[in-house]
Amino acid sequence: MIFTLTMNPTLDRYLYIDELKEDDTVRVKRYSDYPAGKGIDVSRVIRELGGVSVAVALLGGATGRKIEELLDEEGVIYTAIRVEPETRTNIILQLKDHQYRLSLPGETVRREKLEKVRETLQALVRPGDTVVISGSLPKGVSPDFYTGIIFILKQFGAVVYFDSDGENLKAGVLAEPKGIKPNIHELSRLYGKPIEENDLAEILKAASDIHRNYRIEEVMVSLGGQGAILYTEDGIWRVKVPKLPVVSAVGAGDSFLAAFVMKRTEGADYETALRWAGAAGSAAVLTPGTQLCRKEDVEALLERIEVKKIG
């Protein structure tokens, strides 16, 4: 079974407008709400691709209830850990050719609720299960929380994939998850020096050093329109993706990780899993807002994804 953990979920509300006018009424033509947060997005993609996962998330207030309703509509199985603070909301002003993203801050979560996360995972996760931990932490929660939760899950016998940024990522890798999936900016911050997206030699050096220093079995680096790199002890794979019109790049990395993890848990080899991951990440850019990928788009793109072992 696959579980995802989202410690800091959000409701993404897209407001579609023609233009912003200072000191004047701006008419919203329509709006769309999406359940969001990186772990939730991974579960949504797995559901869309025909897989099964359980999304574990901290949800509070009316916004948390709204996220539950939206997950019910999509058929995503979830376990909500109810908290007192209202779940945060992101407001995205979507114009014709660009957008403004307004991210509201979340509130502090009581220590007892953090312990509830551990208890919930202990009740659900069994040896051999896969847990994908993604995203940021609530306000006031130390990055060390991720170190501890990954270590505990490994003690349960779980396979852990971790996708975060900054100090959270630095703390999480200390517990040696099986795999991580930074983008080029997250990789640079973890590595401690800027890395260019088209500098393959430097990307491979960074991935090799992280693989060795933190004992991470699978270091995946997503490179946007340039595809991705997977660095493992068994080899290095390069994923190339077709050029596509980008409607929204939101969730492309989550779609990539979701498809990869799903296929690997089904027993697929690296090449097959990466082909599905590349197709899912590419398909995500074809949809507006945070709709993520559609299964029919993923299947149509599979033959256009190039996966090559380069080391």
Per-residue model confidence (pLDDT) at position 289? 67
Per-residue model confidence (pLDDT) at position 105? 78
In this prediction, the residues of the chain whose per-residue pLDDT falls under 70 are 289
Instruction: Report d(CA 88, CA 78) in Å as an integer.
Output: 18
What sign results for the dihedral spanned by CA atoms 18, 90, 67, 300? Answer: positive
59 within 8 A of 94, measured Cβ to Cβ: no
Q: What type of residue is 82?
A: R
Instruction: Report d(CA 280, CA 301) in Å as an integer.
Output: 8
Pick among 3.90.1150.110, 3.40.720.10, 3.40.1190.20, 3.80.10.10: CATH of 1-141: 3.40.1190.20
- The phi, psi pair for 114, rounded to 5°, reads -65, -40
Q: Which residue has the tokens 């998330």?
A: 57
39 within 8 A of 4, measured Cβ to Cβ: yes
Per-residue model confidence (pLDDT) at position 97? 78
pTM, to two decimals? 0.93
How are the residues of the chain apportioned to helix, strand and coil, as percentages rounded to the nearest 5? 40, 25, 35
Per-residue model confidence (pLDDT) at position 95? 86
